[in-house]
Chains A and B, each alone.
Chain A
Amino acid sequence: MKRAMFFLDQKDMPTHWYNIQADLPEPLPPVLHPGTKQPITPDDLAPLFPMELIKQEVSTERWIEIPEELQDVYRTWRPTVLHRAYRLEKALDTPAKIFYKYEGTNQAGSHKPNTATAQCYYNMKEGIKRLTTETGAGQWGSALAMSGAFFDVEIKVYMVRISYDQKPYRRIAMETWGATCIPSPSTETKAGRDMLEKWPDCPGSLGLAISEAVEECVSRDDTHYTLGSVLNHVLLHQTIIGEETRKQMEMADAYPDIIVGNTGGGSNYAGQFLPWIRDKISGEKPDLRIICVEPESCPTLTRGLYAYDFGDAVGMTPLLKMHTLGHGFIPPPVHAGGLRYHGMAPIICHLLELGLVEAVAEHQTGTFEAGVKFARTEGIITGPEPCHNVKVASDEALKCKESGEAKTILIAHSGHGHFDLAAYDKYLSGELVDYAFPEEDIKKALADLPKVPEA
């Protein structure tokens, strides 16, 4: 019998999150207060987050215990299954062994509840009755709505209006779990009202939705704010994924040569790879490859790195100058560079800078092609973002076919695409087209950048 699923008993579910900050070869740079330029203190963050999460944000303890009450909630869907993708391997005709850890089987359909429940729990423990947040397509809002129901915390979600209008099912899901979901801009905050006054038909934006959620948070003593990606404590909560996988890979008598995951805010993939990267940092598994995959159209890590380092070396002003049209071209790598510290988790950026992870970018049609193959072999209709990992994992498996190597490839699979079928429809009807910067344009843009001395 070929074993295709590796189940971890609920009694063996990890009881601690792994904190990479304990093992980083170099610590993360401190975050500075925008006004004082001094490192941000717990008091600065207290209006937004409960103290326990603030402590986790800066903790350097290697292991942080998952509270019993939260473990009980985790056990409503965890441990999730580790799959061996035999059917995909066969379709690719590869000697590679492909595993995937699938986070789409929980009630909200993605990895997000791993931190949403934790954040609700700690807020509830500190007497907070209400939480606000923003959501784009609604994945995070859904996870938080469900978590609020579990811990009896009222949830208010500001959903970017363009998504609110396009994705009614997400809103209905949130409301079914008991949350309030309103389109942003709204009339409920000054930020929203100001925008509506200027532009009544404003389709909203993530930035505005965050402003509204934060404004409501600071206007009430019983309310805190939550965020579903990027921050250190969010990544910490996700490490239960990788800790489970380590045990399951042991059951499969396997150890990954390559781990592949998509990085948007980075939280799902970090949750998978951080528990493995300690083996690389310790020197036990120096050859372990950790591949971060991102969309070719928004290359935060792959093409942003150079530019940000450039900017870092000389300060802000030259970097700002390069963004002007007076320079003759808006260099895409530069424009993407700043995003590393906005859309991407600082921990992932830091690991990339240290050379411990690598990054690649993929075109969208290739990722959907891989997603369709995955659906037709493994059965799962993968979300558009994790389709990127399936694509890169498939490519690595095909390289194994050429080389004859039976490498072990582990995919971090963050969830299903049941609310994204319109994107599949576009792919299947041939409407999706790839766009990417010609390499020559990038070279030209980079060549045009002013020369700066080495730092």
Chain B
Amino acid sequence: MIEQYDDKTIRCPRVGGEVNFMFCRSENNMSPCRWIAGCWEMRFDINRFLEDHFSNGELDLVFTPPKPKLESLVELMEQAQKRIKEER
């Protein structure tokens, strides 16, 4: 059951406050945060959890090293422009 650890909490260094596991397994556009293994490894078998609930392809996407910040901002900007154009 994917919700089995949802009530466990941890301080998230990115957000700067307490979050529950549900946040960590879904914060990346409904996929796990790429830090999830690091933050939860010692609390329970996070690798097993990921293996049980996500495909290898999904996890490859999750753990793909992110782009440099400026590059990702330009990409976000272009995606936003596309979304706006589509909506109009």
Query: A: which residues have CB within 8 A of B?
Result: 31-35, 40, 44-45, 47-48, 57, 136-139, 160, 162-163, 166-167, 189-191, 195, 198-199, 202-208, 210-211, 214-215, 217-219, 225, 227, 230-231, 264, 295, 297-299, 308, 311, 316, 319-320, 323-326, 329-330, 332, 334-339, 341-343, 346, 364, 384-385, 420, 422-423, 435-437, 441
Q: B3 interface residue, CB < 8 Å from A?
A: no
Q: Which of B30, B38, B71, B80 has the most CB of A within 10 A?
A: B38
Given contacts A45-B74, A190-B87, A210-B73, 7 further A-B contacts (CB under 8 A): A33-B71, A40-B71, A160-B15, A199-B26, A210-B76, A325-B59, A422-B18
Chain A residue nearest to B43 (CB atoms) is A435
Minimum distance in angstroms from A301 CB to a CB of chain B: 13
Minimum distance in angstroms from A307 CB to a CB of chain B: 9
Please judge, given known A-B contacts A215-B83, A339-B35, whether A330 and B23 are in contact too, CB under 8 Å.
no
Q: Which residues of A contact B71 (CB under 8 A)?
A: 31-34, 40
Q: Is the CB of B56 within 8 A of A214?
A: no
Chain B residue nearest to A36 (CB atoms) is B74
Contact with A along B3-17 (1 / 0, CB 8 A): 000000011111111
Query: B: which residues have CB within 8 A of A?
Result: 10-19, 22-23, 26-30, 33-35, 37-39, 41-43, 46-47, 50-51, 56, 59-60, 62-81, 83-84, 86-87
Q: Which residues of A contact B26 (CB under 8 A)?
A: 199, 202-203
Q: Is the CB of B74 within 8 A of A40?
A: yes
Please judge, given known A-B contacts A214-B80, A341-B67, whether A437 and B15 are in contact too, CB under 8 Å.
no
- B76's partner among A33, A167, A214 (CB-CB below 8 A) is A214
Q: Is the CB of A191 within 8 A of B80?
A: yes
Q: Which of A48, A189, A211, A325 has the most CB of B within 10 A?
A: A325
Q: Is the CB of B38 within 8 A of A299?
A: yes
Minimum distance in angstroms from B86 CB to a CB of chain A: 8
Q: Which residues of A contact B37 (CB under 8 A)?
A: 330, 332, 335
Question: Roughly how many angstroms separate A308 CA and B64 CA in the complex, as a whole number?
Answer: 11
Chain A residue nearest to B74 (CB atoms) is A44
Question: Roughly how many angstroms separate A204 CA and B24 CA in the complex, as a whole number?
Answer: 11
Q: Which residues of B contact A231 (CB under 8 A)?
A: 69-70
Chain A residue nearest to B65 (CB atoms) is A338
Minimum distance in angstroms from A123 CB to a CB of chain B: 16
Please judge, given known A-B contacts A190-B83, A325-B47, A338-B63, whether A435 and B18 are in contact too, CB under 8 Å.
no
Q: Is the CB of B35 within 8 A of A198?
A: no
20 pairs, A vs B, C-beta closer than 8 Å: A33-B71, A40-B70, A137-B17, A166-B18, A190-B83, A198-B30, A203-B19, A205-B27, A205-B28, A217-B80, A218-B81, A219-B80, A297-B10, A332-B41, A335-B63, A341-B66, A341-B67, A341-B68, A341-B69, A423-B18
Please judge, given known A-B contacts A34-B67, A320-B64, A343-B14, whether A330 and B76 are in contact too, CB under 8 Å.
no
Rank and list the top 4 A-B pairs by shortest CB-CB distance, nearest first: A338-B65, A137-B16, A323-B63, A435-B42
- B17's partner among A162, A308, A436, A437 (CB-CB below 8 A) is A162
Q: Is the CB of A335 within 8 A of B59?
A: no
Question: Roughly how many angstroms separate A6 CA and B79 CA in the complex, as a whole number?
Answer: 49
Minimum distance in angstroms from A225 CB to a CB of chain B: 8
Q: Which residues of A contact B70 (CB under 8 A)?
A: 31, 40, 45, 57, 231
Q: Is the CB of B65 within 8 A of A330?
A: no
Q: Which residues of A contact B29 (CB under 8 A)?
A: 195, 205, 207-208
Minimum distance in angstroms from B47 CB to a CB of chain A: 5
Minimum distance in angstroms from A231 CB to a CB of chain B: 6
- A218's partner among B17, B18, B30, B77 (CB-CB below 8 A) is B77
Minimum distance in angstroms from A425 CB to a CB of chain B: 11
Chain B residue nearest to A198 (CB atoms) is B30
Q: Is the CB of A335 within 8 A of B34?
A: yes
Chain B residue nearest to A436 (CB atoms) is B42
Q: Which residues of A contact B87 (CB under 8 A)?
A: 190
Chain B residue nearest to A264 (CB atoms) is B13
Q: Which of B18, B37, B60, B69 has the most CB of A within 10 A?
A: B69
Q: Is the CB of A48 within 8 A of B84?
A: no
Q: Which residues of B contact A199 (CB under 8 A)?
A: 26, 30
Q: Which residues of B contact A57 (CB under 8 A)?
A: 70
- B27's partner among A203, A297, A339 (CB-CB below 8 A) is A203
Q: Which of A33, A206, A227, A297 has the most CB of B within 10 A?
A: A297
Chain A residue nearest to B62 (CB atoms) is A323
Q: Which residues of B contact A166 (CB under 8 A)?
A: 17-18
